[in-house]
Amino acid sequence: MIYKATEIKITKTKLVIGVPEPFKLLHVTDSHLIYSDDQDSDMQRKLMAMRREAYDSKHGDNCCRRWCDALFQYAKDNGELLVHTGDLIDYVSHGNLVQAKAVMDTLDDYFFVAGNHEFTQYMGFWPGDPDFRAKNEASVRAIFRNDISCCAREYKGVNLVGLETKKSQISAEQLNFLRAQFDKGLPVLLFYHEPFYTPGLYNRIVTDFNEGDHQTLGEPDVLHPDSSYRATNETLAFMELVKNHPLMKGAFTGHFHFTYNDPLPSGAQQYLTAGSFLGMAREIEIV
């Protein structure tokens, strides 16, 4: 065993749904693996040094890989399906793709949804190639066993649904896909990387999150004047569906690196799980 139970921090969440047999999932997010190797550019190796210093100086040596390995091992030891909601890697590089595949291949089974870092080049530190995602998308997707942008899986009496929140939006295709999943009639657990706006979450973000953009899905224009982030009609319809559909039993996200939850009108909640580089994850018990 590569971890001590007293070292990792597991938030326990219990959902009473009425499944045939109780089970648990482990929700992990925001691992931010940081690797560049000799097949990467000088800029990518410089980025590795910068980003490792940023994380390790605050959270301990090798925090991103050390806690990722520990939490993956916890899921295996406890027979729990691991669900990861993105930012497994900090940026795209040959080194990161090699290590990400090695990490994911330690699991016999998992469910993965892309975050915003899965397709980023230099994270805004330097100008990047505007066509970078198109050129590298196939290489990133090849690491994973499921579609990381729009996926669903019936699992022990519930429907696990995953959607990539690309540029803080939901596409028409994804919205129709989600509606089709609800039409199946099973309780839905939804997984996506960037949470949608609520007043309580916004207040928590501006108070506690100091690591980048504060953007949430559907954030009011007055709070985020950049029109490129203005919610599309599809994103707004997604939010209403998640908030109000009676089959929605839990929405699980990450991105902001802290633990939080907000009640939704349907009676379900939107949960944020802290970054795994902190040694944190969420254990979801379904009964």
* Spatial separation of the C-alpha atoms in residues 50 and 140, rounded to whole Å: 22
* Spatial separation of the C-alpha atoms in residues 140 and 118, rounded to whole Å: 7
| Contact partners, residue 99, CB within 8 Å, separation at least 6 | 33, 35, 65, 89
Kindly list the distances between the CA atom of residue 277 and the CA atoms of 3, 34, 103, 238, in Å, as whole numbers in the listed order: 14, 11, 14, 29
- Residue 38 in this model has a pLDDT that exceeds 80: yes
* Spatial separation of the C-alpha atoms in residues 11 and 30, rounded to whole Å: 15
Q: Which tens digits make up the pLDDT trace of 264-276?
A: 999 999 999 999 9
pTM of the model: 0.96
Q: Which tens digits make up the pLDDT trace of 106-160?
A: 999 999 999 999 999 998 888 889 999 999 999 999 999 999 999 999 999 999 9
> Which SS3 state, helix, strand or coil, does residue 143 take?
coil
Angle between helices 42-59 and 63-77 (to 10 degrees): 70
Q: Which tens digits make up the pLDDT trace of 160-211?
A: 999 999 999 999 999 999 999 999 999 999 999 999 999 999 989 888 765 5
- What is the predicted pLDDT for the residue at 124? 82
Q: Which DSSP string do the residues of 183-206 spell out, in sequence order?
A: HT-S-EEEEESSPBP-HHHHHHHH
Q: Which DSSP string do the residues of 1-64 spell out, in sequence order?
A: --S-TTTSEEEEEEE----SS-EEEEEE----B----TTS-HHHHHHHHHHHHHHHHHH-TTHH
